[in-house]
Structure 1
Amino acid sequence: MMAKAARAAAAWKTYREVTKPGSPKLMTRVRAIPRMVGAVMRGQYTGMGKGKLALMGMGVVYLVSPIDVIPDFLMLIGVADDFGVFLWLMASLLGESGRYVHHEHTVVQAPVKGQVEGS
């Protein structure tokens, strides 16, 4: 029962974060996910560690894998564990990508050598 409440709380927190005025909107966050993954892998974004990225990757594998910890044929329980992983994954991805979008907007990039400002 506690796990359900925690998942519901995480989903609500994510919803509130995505709909907060001034916060990056849902599609902005979704489009930022591939850029964020690349930046983490290249070490250009330190706001998220490779360990958390790996954990998210394992969540994706778990969702698409035909092998489940709790089989789906156990109707409610089997589907509930997949849904819990899905909620955690979406909350994590949307939260992290929102922070990444903010990072992209606040990081001032140094001009490339030889480039003139405004060109």
Structure 2
Amino acid sequence: MATTTARRTLRWRQLAAVGAAASATESRAGHRLGARLAALPRLVRAVRRGDYAGADMVKLSMMLGAVGYVVSPVDLMPEALLAFAGMADDALVIAWLAVTLVRVTDDFLDWEANRDAVPGEVIR
């Protein structure tokens, strides 16, 4: 029981690490974590409508799956059996998720800010 609680706590800490990595990352446009998270529902709607081509539902589904994998008690490489090596798969998923979250939301927020610009107009 204590081991299960410890693993669950560790997984939530790992997910918090994704948020910390995403908020600590310097964005070229200076987007904060709150703005990125608030943009996710708009991003999903824009992708589903076909308005935004910078991401697709496969990538968004993979991001959701990564969150589920990190918080899930089911693991490909269990920490209980493989100790430190068992956390390596979680670390890889967390790293991919943090980088992908930053890139996808930065691109979307930039697109959103500039979508009304006149084609061919230089945006500064």
Q: How many equivalent residue pairs?
A: 96
CA RMSD of aligned residues (A): 2.5
What is the TM-score when the length of structure 2 is the normalising length?
0.64
Moved over 3 A (4+): 20-23
Unaligned regions of 5+ residues in structure 1, if any? 1-13, 110-119
Unaligned regions of 5+ residues in structure 2, if any? 1-20, 118-124
Does 2:42 align with 1:35?
Answer: yes
* Distance change >3 Å, CA 20–CA 94, structure 1 → 2: closer
Correspondence 1:1-119 to 2 at 5 A = 18-20=25-27, 22-73=29-80, 74-108=82-116
Cα pair 1:33 1:93 within 8 Å, conserved: no
Whole-angstrom distance in 1 between the partners of 2:45 and 2:106: 15
What is the TM-score when the length of structure 1 is the normalising length?
0.67
Shift of 1:44: 2.2
**% of aligned pairs identical?**
34
Match of 1:117 in 2: none
Shift of 1:24: 2.6
